[in-house]
Amino acid sequence: MKFNDKVVYQIYPKSFQDSNGDGLGDLRGVIQRLDYLQSLGVDYLWLTPFFPSPQHDNGYDVADYCAVDPRFGNMTDFDELVKTAGDKGMKIMLDMVLCHTSVDHEWFQKAINGDEHYQRYYILRDGRSPGEPPTNWQCAFGGSAWKWQPQIGKWYLHLHDVSQPDLDWTNPEVRKELANVVKFWRDKGVMGFRFDVINLISKPEIFKDDTAGLGRRLFADGPHVHEYLRELVQNAGIEGMITVGEMASTDLENCIRYSNPNNHELSMSFSFHHLKVDYKNGNKWELMPPDIKALKKIFEEWQVGMQEGNGWNAVFYNNHDQPRIVSRFGDDQKYLKESAKMLAASIHFMRGTPYIYQGEEIGMTNAKYSSIEQYRDVESLNYYKILLNQGKSKNEALKIIGERSRDNSRTPMQWSSEKFAGFSIVDPWLSSPENYKTINVETEENDINSVLNFYKTLVKFRKENKIVQDGDIKFIERENDNVIAYIRTLNGKELIIICNFKGNNTNLTEKTLSDYTKNGYKKILGNYDELAENLRPYEVVIFEN
């Protein structure tokens, strides 16, 4: 199954709705908002981890895979969520963090206390020499990917935070344990799974230094990753369910293999190349305006490439790890509504399954914090220190963190203009941007021209139109640096999607907008009322024949 008529909504429970007044979102808060989610028309609700965790990496450091962290509720709450969502036509999709555990996990605690059986669950190595780690690999959050563990006299590998030791998937016991974890949640009624950094589970046969980077190219899409995924899907009994892999530093060829139904691995894959077009010199922590020409090239390569290889994309801009796209590729001040709508349309008409991240559908923006003390994200706090050590001033470092921090996506969902944005009755764990007073669900539900109602139109259109679900894709305006445009075709019918990614009037290079109307196309959707001769700031126009 390709899930080509489905739309997934991602929920970050900690920031979605606080039901008990402790400043943290929880499972009962999600239950309270199911009517809203149903009104959006979405099919699957992907919840990021709510398992017991010390929260060094906001729940992606899992201490117990088969339980609910008390701060989010209990298993009874989860069971009610599955049933109530199901009654409203929505299915639950869970986030499985199977590349690494928390240091607090029972397996790791047993390993460092001398249990040789559990030591084989992790990647433990001797150093090159006393005090020297086995390789020069760097972890995703900065610093060495190795941590010395004095209790056992070994280094353990952590490709992410130091509190997240990597599991050793070469051990069949590990693979069996993890399949049982997935099966546990499947048996509780979960109907889909997102697998965190799943293409990093198969490490290289020989561990060596990376002479041209930070190591990622050596352990991404490793030698046994495809066989491990096929085995997991089979042993967990999840073939036919919606499954998506988060693929770090991946390539098109591997993502075709991951998502081609004939390979029995995953339904679709997340890739992130399109979200690096504003990384100066490829560095996340160096700022530059987004390179729209590069963005278009990446979209074309992946959309057409997956089409030709029978692969399937998960299409998205936002998630819990990314800054808000309207602040990043749009204009969150003068053209917030126009750019939010344009960005949404630019991917919702593409070939793939669209993912909506909470708050995206109302145009939520970056946090715009004025002090480093307002941040909570471990990556942001680490890199603030790194930037200062590199010679950046506090203001320069804060500006970079303000653009790049994962906390931008984790601010509480903005439900209303009430205090704390209707998220909680107390000061929440992370503060909201001041604009919650105007950007919120309550305001937008009552505005026919709101970003929210535009998203509802997009979701409904996908469900009702086979051309979006199944049509081929071809890119046009390929030499136009300001515009991303493409045609979807099916059985002689065409949809033309034209998006201006700039905040000024822009000419088309191949045809004018009126040329399309003269040739029998009619405008069926857009973010401006009347059709002009050329594109206005952040304009999107959709034509059909």
- Catalytic residue positions, numbered: 196, 246
Contact 430, 411 (CB under 8 A): yes
166 CB-near residues (< 8 Å, 6+ apart): 99, 100, 122, 123, 156, 157, 158, 159, 200, 203
Q: What whole-number distance in Å separates Cα of residue 57 and Cα of residue 441?
A: 28
Tell me the three-class secondary structure of 93-149, residue by residue: EEEECCCECCCCCHHHHHHHCCCHHHHCCECEECCCECCECCCCCECCCCCECEEEE
Contact 139, 145 (CB under 8 A): yes
Considering only CA atoms, which of 383, 504, 376 is closest in space to residue 428?
A: 376
Tell me the three-class secondary structure of 449-474, residue by residue: CCHHHHHHHHHHHHHHCHHHHHCEEE
Type of residue at 104: D
Q: What whole-number distance in Å separates Cα of residue 51 and Cα of residue 96?
A: 10
Tell me the three-class secondary structure of 186-225, residue by residue: HHCCCCEEEECCHHHCCCCCCCCCCCCCCCHHHHCCCCCH
Contact 199, 247 (CB under 8 A): yes
Q: What whole-number distance in Å separates Cα of residue 321 and Cα of residue 315?
A: 15
Considering only CA atoms, which of 523, 527, 519, 513 is closest in space to residue 544?
A: 523
User: How many other C-beta atoms can be found within 10 angstroms of the C-beta atom of residue 135?
Assistant: 22
Contact 240, 264 (CB under 8 A): no
Q: Which pair of structure tokens corresponds to residue 96?
A: 């499985």
Contact 271, 298 (CB under 8 A): no
Burial class (CB in 10 A: 0-12, 13-18, 19+), 16: buried
Q: Give strand pairing partners of 147.
A: 156
Checking DSSP bridges between strand 44-47 and strand 8-11, what pairing results, if any? parallel
376 CB-near residues (< 8 Å, 6+ apart): 58, 407, 410, 429, 430
